[in-house]
Amino acid sequence: MEGKNVGGRDRTVRGILAVVLAIVAIGALREGRRTRGTLAAIGAIGLGINAVTCFCGLNAALGIDTTED
């Protein structure tokens, strides 16, 4: 893993979206919508990991660094 490339508002937005997607996932799974729930959960986990580790592989591949925002 390279250095940090997620920071500032980007990190905050990813954290908020992770929580929102987790809520969507729980709601969808309770309603029996397994595909929607699973996809939302995967998105929540991915964005949560990005927010916690301050690293995004896609940002790295595209040369994006938001740590100075």
Q: What is the pLDDT of residues 40-51, one digit of tens each?
A: 999 999 999 999
Structural domain includes residue 24: yes
Classify residue 1: in a domain, yes or no. Answer: no
54 domain residue, yes or no:
yes
Q: Is residue 68 part of a domain?
A: no
Tally of structural domains, the chain? 1
Q: Where are the alpha helices (DSSP H) in 2-56?
A: 8-30, 34-53
Q: Which domain holds residue 44?
A: 8-62
Task: Kindly report, residue by residue over 1-58, the tens digit of the pLDDT.
Answer: 568 999 999 999 999 999 999 999 999 999 999 999 999 999 999 999 999 999 999 9
Report pTM.
0.87
